[in-house]
Structure 1
Amino acid sequence: MTPVLEAEGLGKRYGRRRALTDCDLSIPPGRVIGLVGPNGAGKSTLLQLACGLIKPTSGTITVLGQRPGTDAAQLAKVGFVAQDTPVYAALSVADHLRMGAHLNPGWDGQLAQRRIAQIGLDPKQRAGRLSGGQRAQLALTVAVAKRPDLLIFDEPAAALDPLARRGFLENLMEFIADLGASAILSSHALSDVQRVCDYLIVLADSRVQVAGEVTQLLERHRRLSGSRNELEVLPPGFEVVHADHTVNGSSVVVRTNRAAAPSGPWQWAEIDLEALVLAYMTRAEAQR
């Protein structure tokens, strides 16, 4: 199967600043990918490279088997909702749908009209007078009515209240299921990622720290607790991701390919997605 996104040695610089460094990824199709990391980690840069909005400084990237932005046909396969779900304030809801139909040869007008009716938007209403949640839903409608193979979202729900955020994510998952599309969702909200994503990419310090199926990543990581001396020497096959040492004891998050629970003079526990992400982000920060 052709990867939905594949990168080899991908890098992007702005002058002396590194935005993305030596990025290697191969993401299978049919996934909902969560892209997480601190501000300035390179998330927006990676998404803009995937959309063909910017060009790499080094390495290669392909999306759906082609270089991003190669031609109109390739662009039509990707739906992109940028940060703050941008819409044109002076244009009406209907104007946005007409523009979408004009720019996209595969435009599904019935889907767009049905969607606008379902969420109760007035076609005559100017986008600038919509609420934040309504603007997000309009941007989502325009993106999915292209009937793309890949949907890319850059912090689409960051400014939404909890109710609007929940509605947006529910509609997003409905669209993905209906279209049979893949999706990449960049978000600071790990609860959103945990709710809808089955594949995870952690970016920190402009590099990919870890990537893979969420279930497999959680299976391959454990938290070991014990004395510092007990945890200083671990058996082969254990990689320490992050360690916490206190006067009362120590704990380490480890990565292992062993299916069985690690045996030793320590206690062990499974970890959740938040603990896994924070461990890799903390390690990246400490290595800077």
Structure 2
Amino acid sequence: MTQESSPPALHAEGLTRRYGSRLALADCDLRIPRGRVVGLVGPNGAGKSTLLQLACGLITPTAGTLRVLGDRPGADAAHLARVGFVAQDTPVYAALTVADHLRMGARLNPSWDPDLARRRVAQVGLPPAQRAGRLSGGQRAQLALTIAAAKRPELLILDEPAAALDPLARDGFLRNLMEFVDELGATAVLSSHLLGDVERVCDHLVVLAAGRVQLAGDVADLLARHRRLVAPRGALDRLGVTPVHVASADGYDHAVVRTADGPPPPEWTVEPVRLEELVLAYLGRATDGSAGAVERAEAHR
């Protein structure tokens, strides 16, 4: 079965999750195709970790449905083996050595690839006899990633694994992530606050804010469907253009708009939009409370 004919890596319909009276995710519809490296971005409290925990089967929805690789998350041991997860604090067991972690991974995972695990541990310079508690933050992250990847999963889920790493360690982590994705042919979902990291490695984007999907789709398509306009203040209203987000300075409006809104007057400045600018526009839109008609075309493809 090809990736095109396989069920999507993740498919949510009306997905909702509450923690008591707090609404973490609200009626989310999302479809992530296979074979992508997905950047999941949004502010603290947006629902990113909740979505990833739902996808791993660690928690269950309050309402709606979620399918991961065509099945209920964590449906059985076989399904759990198809998903690799690296949590935000890249958890490892401080008292166990690197070699202990690999032996434990082999016992717990029927599809464990010992050659991949040993090769990657050697490549990143992890001493097999070293206890995990004495590894640096970057080394612990590499160990956690190696354990997740040596399962040979179809889906890798990473919840801000590089957030606390220094730039050099983060660079090494991202390079190894991309090597794993390429070697395994896996889909990866990377939650991150660092838009530079997302821009570097991701070809699909999901923007979450206020518990809702604000934007989703392949990065190249999203950038092609938006542009930046610079126009005299108030001109956007007179033209009937509804920007995603607009900032005003020195008598001009600087707006991110959809290309579907039609061509602007020739005297206006039109420029391509950068990924960071696009993300911030949709986050600003959600913060302003004007995200009623969010961009969801790619979420339903």
- Spell out, residue by residue over 1:15-65, the C-alpha distance to the aligned partner (whole angstroms, 9 max, x if none): 110100111011111000000000000000000000000000010000000
Q: Equivalents in 1 of 2:242, 2:191: separation in Å?
A: 27
Could you tell me which runs of 5 or more consecutive residues in structure 2 were left unpaired when the two chains were aligned: 291-301
Question: CA offsets per residue over residues 240-285 of structure 1, 9 Å max, x none?
Answer: 1111123421121112337x85445422111100100000111111
- Residue number in structure 2 paired with 1:185: 190
Look up the equivalent residue of 1:257 and give its one-letter code. A
SS in 2 for 1:193: helix
Q: TM-score, normalised to structure 1's length?
A: 0.96
Displacement of 1:177 in angstroms is: 0.2
Which structure 2 residues correspond to residues 43-62 of structure 1 after superposition, within 5 A? 43-62=48-67
Equivalent residue, structure 1, for 2:279 = 277
Question: Cα gap change, 1:227/1:263 in structure 2, threshold over 3 Å: closer, same or farther?
Answer: closer
Take 1:192 and 1:255, find their aligned partners in 2: how far apart are those partners?
25
Cα offset, 1:239, TM superposition: 4.1
What is the CA deviation profile of residues 119-163 of structure 1, one whole-angstrom value per residue up to 9, with x for unaligned ones?
221111100000011001000100000000000000010111101
SS of 1:240's equivalent?
Answer: coil
Alignment: residue pair count: 285
Contact 1:18 1:206 in 2 (8 A): yes
Matched residue, 1:65: 70
Q: Unaligned regions of 5+ residues in structure 1, if any?
A: none
Percent of aligned positions that are identical: 67
Letter in 1 for 2:188: A
Cα distance in 2 for partners of 1:84, 1:160 equals: 11
Provide the alpha-carbon RMSD of the alignment. Answer: 1.4
- Residue 296 of structure 2 aligns with which residue? none
Aligned positions of 1:238-257 closer than 5 A: 239-257=242-260
The answer on whether the counterparts of 2:227 and 2:273 sit within 8 Å (CA) in structure 1 is yes
Alignment partner, residue 156 of structure 1: 161
User: Quick one: distance in 2 between partners of 1:156 and 1:183?
Assistant: 13
SS in 1 for 2:234: helix
TM (norm. structure 2) is 0.92
Runs of 4+ in 1 over 4 A off after TM superposition: none
Cα distance in 1 for partners of 2:248, 2:125 equals 54
Secondary structure of 1:8's counterpart equals strand
CA contact (8 A) 1:154 1:185 kept: yes
Contact 2:247 2:254 in 1 (8 A): yes
